[in-house]
Homo-oligomer: A and B are copies of this chain.
Amino acid sequence: MVQPARVGDTVDQIETPALVVDRALFEQNLDRMAAATSHIRLRPHAKTHRCPAVALQQIARGAVGVSCQTVGEAEAMVAGGVRDVLITNEVVSAAKLRRLVDLTAAAQVGVLVDHPAALADLARTASALPEERAIDVLVEIEVGQGRCGVSDPSDIVALARAAAAAPGLSFNGLQAYHGSAQHGRTPDARQTAIAGAAVRVRSALAALTAAGLTARIIGGAGTGTLLLEARSGLWNELQPGSYVFMDRDYRANTLAPGDPVFAQALHLYATVISAAAPGRAVLDVGLKTVAVDSGPPDVDQPGWQTVRVSDEHTTCTVPAGVTPGTRVRVVPGHIDPTVNLHDWIVVVDSGVVVDLWAITGRGSSA
């Protein structure tokens, strides 16, 4: 891939479309998260950035490691120097389980389970691991989003017991992540969702205790709800991702008093390639450079309105005076799948390119 800029370029020399991070705002986001979570384990989610350079800065500020969503993402993080990865997802194929086991040679590795057959496959693959390389297992419990995770406390206990008994595995606790709660627009909506999740966590913990099992870790939380989980007295390891860069969808949440405020630290830089009709301009950004699952992106410029996004174009209504070559900054609706469309993050400070971070986990969805 052609790099979109070189260190020392001015922002106007960055080749578009390109992801551009404002270093000061990015570091402010990391600092604010570190301050908000200083009393609790932080395991930021690498699915947002897939970029070891970002992960290492999170860890330098106190994060215990990173969360990943796929084995490939974890491989990219470990190759980039991260030494503690939790895959906050189920892993099922024989080849992926072998890759997971291989990762334990270089890092502390954890993974989720929510099904006895999948756990049995994992246990078989990991059975020869020495104790110091044992894979941490969290039992994923369903806390209200209707996706992965076990509901019945007796099923949770059975999985925990099987993990605890398996050579090569170590039962480490529960994963209790409520994805849809992150985007509850009001503090009340988010509070209600996490209160519901807490009821499920308490019931699972009671069942584990009754069975003589200890959950060392209760993992979950995201950028939208993390203080709610942190204050619950239940969760003790938080996994927010989007706060590093932010997006329009998260910024549409109304914050509660005391919530940390994260800035839009990443923009997609774009250039007008066509302005052939009055009041209309077409940007060089499209479905292959910005994710639209949360709606079209916003243009960070007064009087601009996005009308339509196609493969390589975003059509906008614009004020007079816009010509081909006009450059603008675009705010993505949803940051994680947008970052995954790119190979590089251009880092700027005071209008100058100061670094380029390779998104080495880009495309690592297997």
Contact = CB atoms under 8 A, between A and B. Distances in A.
Interface in A100-143: 114-115, 117-118, 121, 140, 142
Interface in A224-261: none
Interface string A12-26: 000111100000000
**Chain B CB within 10 Å, residue with most, of A15, A92, A288, A334:** A288
B115 A274 contact: yes
A179 to B, nearest CB: 6
Number of copies: 2
Interface in A327-366: 334, 336-337, 340-343, 362-366
A18 B287 contact: no
A16 B212 CA distance: 38
A133 to B, nearest CB: 22
A181 B310 CA distance: 13
Interface string A141-184: 01000111111000000000000000000000000000100000
B47 A15 contact: no
Contacts of A273: 89-92, 118, 148
A149 B363 contact: no
Interface residues of A, number: 71
A41 interface: no
A275 B142 CA distance: 12
Contacts of A115: 274-276, 323-324
Contacts of A336: 287-288, 311
Interface stretch (A31-39, A187-195, A199-207, A289-297): A289-297
A200 to B, nearest CB: 13
A325 B147 contact: no
Contacts of A2: 72, 366
A218 interface: no
A122 to B, nearest CB: 11
B342 A363 contact: yes
Interface in A267-317: 271-277, 280, 282, 284, 286-289, 291-293, 308-313, 315
A93 interface: yes
A223 interface: no
A117 B342 contact: no
B271 A311 contact: no
A60 interface: no
A310 B291 CA distance: 12
A325 B92 CA distance: 6
17 contacts: A1-B364, A4-B366, A15-B95, A15-B366, A47-B312, A69-B312, A115-B276, A147-B282, A147-B313, A179-B310, A286-B365, A288-B337, A288-B340, A292-B292, A293-B309, A340-B341, A362-B363
Interface of A: 1-2, 4, 15-18, 47, 69-70, 72, 89-93, 95-96, 114-115, 117-118, 121, 140, 142, 146-151, 179, 271-277, 280, 282, 284, 286-289, 291-293, 308-313, 315, 323-325, 334, 336-337, 340-343, 362-366
